[in-house]
Amino acid sequence: MPATPSPPTLKRVPPGAWTAFAWCAATAFTYLTRVRLPGEYEPDQGPAIQLYRWDGLMCLVVASALVFTAAFYLSRRPLTAVGLLLVAAVIETMNLAVTEIPMAQFLAVQTAVYFIAAGRPRRTGAIAVSLSLALLVGYLAVRIGAGWSVGTSAELAVALVTLISWLLGDAANRSRAHAEQLAARKAQQAVTAERLRIAREMHDTVAHSIGIIALQAGAAARVAATRPEAAREAMSAVEHEGRETLAGLRRMLVVLRHADQEAGGGQQAAVAAGLAEVERLAAVTSAAGVRVHVHWAGERRELPPDVDLSAFRIVQESVTNVVRHADARACRVTLDYRAADALAIEVTDDGRGHGSATDTGFGLAGMRERVALLDGEFTAGPRPEGGFRVAAQLPVPLTVTLQAAGR
Chain segment 168-219, per-residue pLDDT in tens: 999 999 999 998 888 888 877 877 777 777 777 666 666 656 766 776 777 7
Task: Supply the DSSP symbol for 190.
Answer: H
Looking at this protein, which amino acid is placed at residue 14?
P
Distances from the Cα of 372 to the Cα of 124, 148, 255, angstroms: 39, 72, 10
Higher pLDDT, 319 or 340: 319
Distances from the Cα of 404 to the Cα of 84, 191, 238, 304, 335, angstroms: 73, 33, 17, 11, 18
Q: What's the mean pLDDT in 277-281?
A: 86
Instruction: List phi, psi (to 5°) of 270.
Output: -75, 155
Q: Are strands 330-338 and 291-297 parallel, antiparallel or unpaired?
A: parallel
Instruction: Tell me the average pLDDT of the chain.
Output: 79
CB burial string 90-107: b at 16+ within 10 A, e below:
bbbbebbebebbbbbbbb
CB 367 within 8 A of CB 390: yes
Instruction: List phi, psi (to 5°) of 59.
Output: -60, -40
Higher pLDDT, 69 or 226: 69
- pLDDT at 258 > cutoff 70: no
Q: Residue 193's pLDDT is what?
A: 77
Higher pLDDT, 154 or 258: 154
pTM: 0.56
- Sorting pLDDT into bands at 50, 70 and 90, what band is 402? very low
Distance CA 351, CA 357 (A): 16
- Sorting pLDDT into bands at 50, 70 and 90, what band is 44? low
The CATH number, out of the four listed (3.40.50.9100, 3.40.50.300, 2.40.10.10, 3.30.565.10), of the domain defined by the range 275-406 = 3.30.565.10
Distance CA 327, CA 284 (A): 17
- CA torsion sign for 335, 338, 341, 346 is negative
Total residue count of the chain as it appears in this document = 407
Whole-number CA gyration radius for the chain: 35
Expressed in angstroms, the distance from the first to the final Cα of the chain is 40
- pLDDT at 369 > cutoff 70: yes
Question: How wide is the angle at C-alpha 198 spanned by C-alphas 180 and 190, nearest 5°?
Answer: 15
pLDDT tens, 112-153?
Answer: 999 999 999 999 999 999 999 999 999 999 989 988 888 888
Q: Is 200 exposed, middle or buried (0-12, 13-18, 19+ CB in 10 A)?
A: middle
* pLDDT-wise least confident of 69-73, 183-187, 284-288, 348-352: 284-288
Distance CA 388, CA 348 (A): 6
